[in-house]
Amino acid sequence: MVKVKVEFLGGLDVIFDKERTHKVTVAADAGSDVTMGDLIDYIVDNMIKNSNDRCVFIENDNIRPGILTLINDTDWELEGEKEYVLEDGDVVSFTSTLHGG
């Protein structure tokens, strides 16, 4: 079991009851790790209330292009992406890329 903070920024909160930050507890089998991949599955299965909204977050089983994923304020590409093993207290942020100017 791991307890993390999850943030949805750049307007992504619209599909999460308009709440930008969520405290999330992800369960795991005894002795096994909880990875970013597990967290994303958890978010899709449990946190997106309206299944029609899944495409806002996920495209072809991956985070949709145009969404940046950060682990403790660092681009998740530098942290192993879906393989990253979450620890209690980690802050995971998803932010939509903005285009207005």
Q: Which amino acid type is present at position 79?
A: E
Which pair of tokens denotes residue 69? Answer: 């994923």
Question: Is residue 83 at the binding interface for another protein, with CB under 8 A as the rule?
Answer: no
Query: In the complex, what is the shortest distance from the CB of residue 11 to another protein, in angstroms, rounded to a whole number?
Result: 6
CB 101 within 8 A of CB 18: no
Closer to another protein at the Cβ: 28 or 98? Answer: 98
Nearer Cβ to another protein, position 28 or 78? 78
Question: From CA 16, how far away is CA 96, in angstroms rounded?
Answer: 13
Residues 6+ apart with CB under 8 A from 62: none
Q: How big is the CA angle at 79 (ends 44 and 16), to the nearest 5 degrees?
A: 25
Q: Does 75 bind another protein (CB under 8 A)?
A: yes
Residues 45-74 that bind another protein (CB under 8 A): 50, 52, 56, 59, 64-66, 68, 70, 73-74
Q: Which residues bind another protein (CB under 8 A)?
A: 9-11, 20, 50, 52, 56, 59, 64-66, 68, 70, 73-75, 77-78, 93, 95-101
